[in-house]
């Protein structure tokens, strides 16, 4: 019965924009899917056809074409039944069949591990996305409905799917500009990963919603009145922030729920671009803006096409009327309440809300929408190209996660065009971001008209020009400081193809030295040991393994350990005999720094060997380590004595909320000779929290900074935050 009702609702929804001929095609697809899935049920016990109908209904608000709706109805048919893509093509056309094929998993192919299957299925999906972006729209709708109905799954499966959704699918939705889907996927992932916390937060919001509504109503009216005073025609709306974003703030800043006051945000839509900035000035004259909380995403849009002005305003408690019918003193903070405002035009809002789907929803030929779609296709093709260079599945998935997160640094080319790069990107990363050939033949760079080395880290607003020489070629040392997957992929590929024999020889020498430390003679390693290693790593030949070692994409110690695993050698003995891996801080490739503890030189460190992933560097006191250090997966690590790189370190300062405290702390940091990379400040009652990101060389420098800050009587606590802040 539920499927019949849902089918009728779907027909009603598509009838608002599809032709009668297209509607008949949708009816046929519903019946085709019903017959194909007959006898199949979901974990909840419902008829399986309710799922594809629900997926199609998620897509109808975007007014997608009939091919997309039909493909959504048939997206599981090839995967779960005996029906072929050829049969679908014969009945519904080649376009529908191509979309369905792009959505079908590689279930007919055997994979040794779930990770291998996941990686290759993502690769296939991305290939289809690069050809037709409608594939990702259907896939995201499919994942969204699965997340909405995840309750029938086992705990382990629910957590695994939720984690994958948070790391991959939510980020794809973000990159596609699908804000509502992105936010709902985050909230549903949070609900399934942390059900108790989610319920507690939900209950707390329900209790305080009516009390805090007074703030929302009063502030909304004052914003509208101020804009009218300046003759600005605007639409103002208020909304509650998502559960996940509230949870993130509580976690990052160690706040209890009743200490989080900015749970509401306000959106201001105006007609023209100049009115965005006029509105900003008008509202800044109404409420005091919080320092460091203004961002101009209109002048410099986000990678997903998002444009808006962001500012946080401080609303004094006396501005909230005590005569309001629902006023309650518990609804307001004892001091100023921060509220977030977003200002944009109606045209900008088209992409802000529906992103890539704006192509179908708004058929106006808008240049902004057209440019966004072109950039999206370009990004997909570049991402796919880099992923196709990835060796084993773990490298592919790591690169995918890195590439899905949006860049944080915006720099200008010498012609004035804007480029987005990840934080800590260098001038060399910028060169490869422009084009592979520019990176290959670069010799240096000019940043803000001054000549600098290629390892120079770039910052927001830098103007960068790359110096070229047709005879120049990449250097192996470049792998020590590039940060982007794109640059590393191109450099590694260059040496693997141009200097393959040299890299094999270099890798063999490094591996021989390491094996001798554990009494293994490399030429005497049995063929069976090599074959097991090749199978585990999905590499074709031992020479390719050696070339990876020579380039730096694999570490000799890790390969020696795997060869020992394939033999009868006791791994405990191996751990004792293997030489310590010296950490320079620039390795990349098989060595990564754990985000759970953010080690810096001076921290005692230990290596966690993860099968098929490489080496993760932790501090020895990292609470997230699941195992003791004496087990076979742990490796002995030591910092290099001469590390030139700077490491980001995050710390929070709790202080009495008094005038001038920020200036004093900033002065203490400046007096110690350090620059502030990032700063956030929260006024919470009589206390203030200052959140800094600096770059230091070691723990001694950090101690000097903390000592300089603690001398002020206003300071209550200085806490190093080892976990990276969420992007």
Q: What is the DSSP letter of 271?
A: S
For residue 597, give the nearest of 645, 536, 632, 649 by alpha carbon. 649
**Is 79 labeled as catalytic in the residue annotation?**
yes
Find the DSSP H helices in 132-194.
134-148, 155-164, 170-175, 179-193
385 close to 436: Cβ distance less than 8 angstroms: no
The pair of three-digit structure tokens given for residue 309, joined into one six-digit string: 């002005």
Helices and strands (H, E) in the chain, number of each type = 29, 20
* CA distances in angstroms from 318 to 321, 325, 478, 483, 676, listed in the order given: 7, 16, 58, 49, 34
Query: Are 421 and 475 a contacting pair, CB within 8 Å?
Result: no
Q: How far is CA 477 from CA 395, 432, 464, 482, 552, in A?
A: 21, 15, 22, 9, 10
* Catalytic member of 22, 65, 79, 115: 79
Structure-token match 């730096």, residue found: 552
Distance from C-alpha of 21 to C-alpha of 212, rounded to nearest angstrom: 50
Q: How far apart are CA 127 and CA 113, in angstroms?
A: 21
Strand 309-315 versus strand 288-289 pairing type: antiparallel
> d(Cα 696, Cα 322) in Å, to the nearest integer?
49
Instruction: Give exposure, 649-680, as e/b (b: 16+ Cβ within 10 Å).
Output: bbbbbbbebeeebbebbeebbeebebeebebb
Catalytically annotated residue among 46, 80, 217, 714:
80
Residues 126, 124: Cα–Cα separation, whole Å: 5
Q: Is 680 left (phi over 0), alpha (psi -120 to 50) or beta?
A: beta
Pairing assessment for the beta strands 463-468 and 409-413 based on DSSP bridges: parallel
Vertex 368: Cα angle to 364 and 370 (nearest 5) = 70
Structure tokens at 63: 């007014």
**Long-range contacts (CB closer than 8 Å, 24 or more residues apart) made by 470-476:** 470/441, 471/441, 472/440, 472/441, 472/442, 472/443, 473/440, 473/441, 473/498, 474/439, 474/440, 476/551, 476/552
Catalytic residues: 79-80
């Amino acid at each position: 019965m539920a499927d019949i009702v849902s089918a009728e609702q779907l027909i009603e929804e598509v009838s608002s924009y599809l032709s009668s001929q297209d509607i008949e095609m949708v009816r046929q697809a519903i019946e085709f899917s019903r017959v194909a899935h007959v006898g199949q049920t979901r974990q909840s016990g419902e008829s399986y056809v309710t799922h594809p109908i629900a997926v199609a209904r998620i897509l109808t608000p975007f007014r997608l074409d009939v091919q997309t709706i039909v493909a959504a109805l048939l997206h599981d048919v090839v995967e779960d039944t005996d029906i072929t893509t050829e049969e679908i093509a014969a009945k519904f056309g080649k376009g529908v069949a191509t979309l369905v094929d792009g959505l079908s998993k590689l279930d007919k192919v055997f994979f040794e591990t779930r990770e291998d299957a996941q990686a290759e299925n993502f690769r296939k999906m991305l290939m289809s996305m690069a050809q037709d972006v409608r594939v990702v729209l259907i896939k995201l709708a499919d994942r969204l409905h699965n997340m909405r109905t995840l309750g029938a799954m086992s705990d382990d499966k629910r957590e695994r799917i939720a984690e994958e959704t948070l790391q991959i699918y939510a980020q794809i939705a973000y990159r596609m500009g699908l804000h509502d889907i992105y936010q709902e996927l985050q909230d549903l992932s949070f609900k399934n990963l942390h059900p108790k916390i989610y319920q507690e937060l939900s209950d707390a919001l329900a209790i305080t919603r009516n009390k805090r509504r007074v703030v929302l109503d009063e502030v909304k009216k004052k914003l509208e009145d101020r804009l009218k005073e300046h003759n600005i025609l605007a639409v103002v709306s208020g909304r509650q922030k998502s559960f996940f974003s509230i949870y993130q703030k509580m976690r990052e800043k160690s706040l209890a729920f009743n200490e989080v006051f900015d749970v509401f945000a306000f959106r201001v839509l105006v007609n023209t671009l100049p009115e965005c900035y006029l509105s900003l000035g008008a509202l800044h004259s109404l409420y005091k803006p919080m320092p460091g909380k203004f961002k101009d995403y209109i002048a410099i849009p986000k990678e997903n096409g998002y444009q808006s002005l962001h500012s946080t305003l401080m609303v004094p408690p006396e501005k909230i009327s005590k005569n309001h019918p629902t006023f309650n003193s518990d609804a307001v903070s004892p001091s100023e309440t921060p509220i977030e405002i977003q200002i944009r035009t109606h045209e900008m809002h088209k992409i802000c809300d529906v992103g890539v789907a704006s192509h179908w929803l708004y058929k106006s030929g808008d240049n902004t929408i057209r440019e966004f779609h072109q950039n999206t296709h370009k990004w997909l093709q570049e991402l796919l190209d880099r992923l196709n260079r990835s060796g084993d599945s773990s490298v592919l998935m790591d690169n995918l996660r890195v590439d899905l997160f949006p860049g944080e640094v915006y720099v200008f080319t010498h012609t004035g065009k804007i480029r987005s790069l990840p934080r800590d990107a260098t001038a060399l990363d910028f060169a490869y971001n422009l084009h592979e050939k520019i990176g290959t033949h670069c010799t240096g760079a000019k940043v803000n008209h001054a000549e600098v080395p290629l390892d120079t880290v770039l910052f927001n607003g830098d103007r960068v020009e790359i110096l070229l020489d047709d005879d120049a070629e990449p250097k192996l040392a470049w792998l020590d400081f590039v940060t982007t997957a794109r640059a590393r992929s191109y450099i590694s590929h260059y040496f693997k193809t141009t200097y393959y024999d040299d890299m094999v020889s270099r890798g063999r020498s490094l591996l021989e030295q390491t094996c001798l430390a554990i009494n293994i003679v490399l030429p005497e390693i049995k063929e069976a040991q090599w074959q097991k290693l090749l199978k585990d790593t999905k590499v074709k030949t031992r020479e390719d393994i050696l070339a990876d070692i020579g380039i730096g994409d694999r570490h000799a110690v890790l390969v020696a350990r795997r060869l020992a695993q394939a033999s009868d050698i006791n791994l405990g003995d191996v751990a004792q005999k293997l030489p310590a891996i010296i950490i320079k801080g620039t390795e990349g490739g098989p060595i990564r720094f754990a985000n759970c503890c953010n080690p810096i030189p001076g921290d005692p460190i230990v290596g966690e060997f993860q099968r098929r992933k490489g080496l993760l560097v932790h501090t020895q006191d990292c609470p997230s380590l699941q195992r003791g250090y004496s087990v076979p997966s742990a490796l002995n690590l030591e910092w290099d004595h001469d590390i030139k790189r700077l490491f980001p370190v995050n710390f929070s300062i709790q202080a009495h909320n008094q005038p001038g405290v920020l200036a004093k702390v900033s002065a203490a940091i400046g007096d110690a000779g350090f620059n502030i990379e990032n700063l956030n400040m929260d006024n919470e009652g009589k206390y203030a929290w200052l959140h800094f990101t600096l770059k230091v060389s070691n723990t001694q420098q950090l101690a000097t900074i903390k000592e300089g800050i603690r001398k002020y009587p206003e300071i209550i606590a200085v806490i190093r935050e080892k976990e990276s802040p969420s992007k």
